[in-house]
Structure 1
């Protein structure tokens, strides 16, 4: 049996370490006023756990747990989804600060990509994956040197290593690994004018004959099943922030209950609970079928989480008014950051792809073995 709601020991250890640091700064999570120093210190703690956080689609682990009752002592055998453990960590980090979550998710994703393309010798340090393309001066790689421009590079001044995509002369997707502590790298932060996610150190990076290494086979980055598994990890960040924003409504209702708060709380609680179960289902599916990309259901998950995130921000505002947006630094920062972060979803384009993939699925399996399934959504 998959232990979906069982304690996550790794998450417990991370929470203990992070929240001890926050307390040492005379703060609490719910009223956190974050500084650049505290943000970096939290990130350093998290990076220290990198090798303990499972890669997506890495299966399940079985744990035997002792359980005592009033009449008996027995051992319970529980199975833990490694993908869910990873997402739980990401969701927790997002509930603290979405800038940290952005950096840490990118770091973990880069390490998992390297693992998936067969490169398991990644040097220690902070990593990022930069995959945006379309600049007029694209990345070029010749004789071990990289030149050109990469846009939307979060953490550009901080990371030790960048893992970035480029298109070769045949138009095939390739991956480069570059040590960011080299001359010939120009980091331009002037174009990043965001209010939400403003502290992510997102820059346009220009490379001038900088040493780099090609990793993985042609198109391996896009064609691996893990491309979509990683996309679900981003949605876990959105979900963690949305759930945290909604938790302020629970706190307010407990402190001063009224019917309107209860109604709004019921609305967002239902949406979050359904999405939570969908995460559990997809984590189990990914771990049981790791070679499948599960693109359709992950696209659907991301679309659903985006909708729930927008709902959480709207409902919290309707129920609580302006006060937390103006007087609580943690709530205000999460709300502003999440509004920008969910734009990693591509809205109508993603819904178009969901429609196309749903049509393909319907064409492939219009009936089950009994011939009674009329459509792909039938129970």
Structure 2
């Protein structure tokens, strides 16, 4: 961690600020800080979120290049990776905070990408779930929007809707105005329970268009942002895995070592893939890298599920019952990874892989017999 923080001093500053809040808060509540058993209350969540928001303008947007000594690559760091490392750390603390903060940062990056450089201060969110009818006429929006996390605490929302021609539009809504009703009654989740996820009902609420039709979906940053969500999943999974390392170090056993080897391998491979994708995005910022990012998200989801199961097998029921941080992180992560779309994502990965194979094959001449295998679409050769 020290080497990581040396390359990411912003993460080090954020980590120190958050740990100070947690330490002070748990001391005041009489929690067992000395044994690393911490409890994140709603009060602490909002204090931590406030601190994080204050760092917003310092956190790089995706695809913003590298920083450091370009002549010595060992001393440079991908700015996209810096962003993901911060999100992963926040997720290791609490996934509710990560959910809010990732959405806030995503909103700011969307505005930046679409040319709105001077975003209004406050907490932002992106609400893009479809399925409820919305109408937008003469600068006012009416209807309902479901799955809006942080609905009661957000100052400004970026809200998607489909116009009469079926095109995707993006609206900017000030949440501090009349005509907005927030309904939390449908949110019955145990995991991610504290996210304040609600259905928002709007009645002639003032809103303004952001960007042109379909710009929100078609911009390359759509997929760069999707990878940031996966960084949250990964940060939580890595934190759960660290409990197994501690348990093994305190009381070594062969079976703990075996389980640790299993998930350690999966996490290490995924960690390196994050580094690769971050470098890819920063080196080719005008490309969406949709296939690579879909594969990354799918891989992280699988690893997260494996970590939850394997760490539970290794440690038994005790941390689920006695450790509030471990229990909450496990429950929250099980729900948060469902932001993946399962079989649909795998279907798209298959389709995009086939397209890539066809493109690779088309670059070869018909009489090039030495590349017969490549012409068959083997895009996974070393």
Fold shared, TM-score > 0.5 on shorter chain: yes
Q: 1:275 aligns with which of 265, 270, 275?
A: 270
Q: 2:295 aligns with which of 277, 296, 300?
A: 300
Cα distance per residue 1:44-92 (max 9 Å; x no partner): 0000000000000111112489xxxxxxxxx987221000000000000
What is the CA distance between 1:30 and its match in structure 2? 3.9
Q: 1:18 matched to which residue of 2? A: 18
What is the CA distance between 1:366 and its match in structure 2? 2.8
TM-score (norm 2): 0.92
What is the CA distance between 1:303 and its match in structure 2? 0.4
Q: 1:94 matched to which residue of 2? A: 91
The answer as to whether partners of 1:366 and 1:376 remain within 8 angstroms in 2 is no
> In the aligned structure 1, how far is the partner of 2:277 from the partner of 2:67?
17
Q: 2:143 aligns with which of 119, 132, 148?
A: 148
Does 1:47 find its partner at 2:33? no
> In the aligned structure 1, how far is the partner of 2:317 from the partner of 2:77?
41
The answer as to whether partners of 2:7 and 2:75 remain within 8 angstroms in 1 is no
> In the aligned structure 2, how far is the partner of 1:5 from the partner of 1:177?
35
The answer as to whether partners of 1:146 and 1:210 remain within 8 angstroms in 2 is yes
* Local SS of the residue matching 2:7: coil
Q: 1:168 aligns with which of 163, 172, 177?
A: 163
Does 1:238 find its partner at 2:224? no
Q: 2:117 matched to which residue of 1? A: 120
Structure 1 stretches lacking a partner, 5+ long: 66-74
Q: 1:376 matched to which residue of 2? A: 379
**Which residues in structure 2 correspond to 1:352-363 (within 5 Å)?**
352-363=347-358
> In the aligned structure 1, how far is the partner of 2:243 from the partner of 2:175?
40
Does 1:229 find its partner at 2:235? no
* Local SS of the residue matching 1:128: strand
> In the aligned structure 1, how far is the partner of 2:5 from the partner of 2:163?
46
Q: What is the total number of aligned residue pairs between the two structures?
A: 366
What is the CA distance between 1:140 and its match in structure 2? 1.2
What is the CA distance between 1:346 and its match in structure 2? 0.6
What is the CA distance between 1:278 and its match in structure 2? 0.2
Does 1:263 find its partner at 2:258? yes
> In the aligned structure 2, how far is the partner of 1:306 from the partner of 1:144?
40
Q: 1:56 matched to which residue of 2? A: 62
Q: 2:104 matched to which residue of 1? A: 107
Q: 1:350 aligns with which of 342, 345, 349?
A: 345
| Structure showing the higher helix proportion among its residues | 2
Does 1:201 find its partner at 2:207? no
* Local SS of the residue matching 1:148: strand
Q: 1:310 matched to which residue of 2? A: 305
Cα distance per residue 1:200-241 (max 9 Å; x no partner): 000000000011111111110000000000000000000000
> In the aligned structure 2, how far is the partner of 1:168 from the partner of 1:78?
48
Does 1:216 find its partner at 2:203? no
The answer as to whether partners of 1:238 and 1:305 remain within 8 angstroms in 2 is yes
Cα distance per residue 1:343-373 (max 9 Å; x no partner): 0001111001100100000111038778546
What is the CA distance between 1:6 and its match in structure 2? 5.5
> In the aligned structure 1, how far is the partner of 2:110 from the partner of 2:141?
20
Cα distance per residue 1:162-182 (max 9 Å; x no partner): 111011121111110011011
> In the aligned structure 2, how far is the partner of 1:64 from the partner of 1:255?
42
Q: CA RMSD, aligned part only?
A: 1.9
Q: 1:132 aligns with which of 107, 129, 132?
A: 129
* Local SS of the residue matching 1:341: helix
The answer as to whether partners of 1:30 and 1:330 remain within 8 angstroms in 2 is no
* Local SS of the residue matching 1:212: strand
Q: 1:183 matched to which residue of 2? A: 178
> In the aligned structure 2, how far is the partner of 1:198 from the partner of 1:166?
26
> In the aligned structure 2, how far is the partner of 1:241 from the partner of 1:185?
33
